[in-house]
Amino acid sequence: MRLLAIDVGNTRLKWASFVSGIIRDHGALILEEISTLNDTQWKALPPPDRIIGSNVAGDAVRHRVEDQLARWAVDPEWIVAHAAECGVVNGYDRPALLGPDRWAALIAARRRVPDGPCLVITVGTAVTVDALDDKGTFLGGLIVPGFGLMLDALEAGTAGLRVPSGDFQTFPTNTSNALMSGGVHALAGAAERMARLLSERTGRTPRVLLAGGAAPKLASHLQFAYTMVENLVLEGLARIAEARKQAVQPLRAVGGGS
């Protein structure tokens, strides 16, 4: 079976084609370029047997993606978070309101770390820091503005901070570097605090998975070991598709024998 997994974020769309659970093709583009998919990245893509996706960019963007998917006679399945799935228990107050991308990332993380606590850090337009305990329960997580949103907010809310992008410095000596360094410390501090809290909660040092398009900007500033994962949400979507297919097959077998 050929599966097409699609992760529609706030800024970019990422996709991957899986065959027997292995990525064969993949790509990414900014949301403004969605209408070019069939003429570019998907032009020579073999037809999928199934399409699964997560979308946090709203209905208008989803419709634009579906316009491109219409070339194949396969209805896409857009996931929502469940109370429990694939070995992960959703601890959100209202499970369905957890972002589908976060849910897929947690499911992929549980597969990668099946027997211990895990911290999932995704660095994109926003930064999420999500905690899984050793039993696979999602304990909760943080949402923090990403680098760009932090800088935009400071520029919009102050009169004198409209400056070019700077670099990280331990002790910044100009405004540009002060802004960038402040963002790095804010994000790294949130991640390190959550890692400590999860360790205290579980009594074990958590594995840390780092994902997202802007992850490299944060990675070198973290004070703990981590594993960089390029396509964590897409991995999770593939895992969800696999599990749901297996759940349906016994029902079909029972129905066929009646």
Instruction: Output the CA angle 122-128-133, nearest 5 degrees.
Output: 95
Burial environment of residue 81 by CB neighbours within 10 A (0 to 12, 13 to 18, 19 or more): buried
Look-up of token digits 């992929």:
108
CB neighbourhood size of 78 (10 A) = 16
Instruction: Output the CA angle 232-238-239, nearest 5 degrees.
Output: 90
Catalytic residue among 7, 101, 130, 133: 101
Q: Is the dihedral of CA 195, 197, 202, 205 positive or negative?
A: positive
Is residue 25 part of the annotated active site? The answer reads no
Inter-residue long-range contacts of 25-34, CB under 8 Å, 24+ positions, other chains counted: 26/231, 26/234, 28/213, 31/57, 31/61, 34/61, 34/64, 34/65, 34/68
**Which amino acid is residue 76, in one-letter code?**
P
Helix (H, G, I), strand (E, B) or coil at 199: helix
Contacts of 169 (CB under 8 A, 6+ apart): 177, 181
Strands 207-211 and 227-228: parallel
Burial environment of residue 91 by CB neighbours within 10 A (0 to 12, 13 to 18, 19 or more): middle
Task: Please state, in angstroms and rounded to a whole number, the distance separating the CA atoms of residues 107 and 112.
Answer: 9
Kindly list the catalytic residues: 101
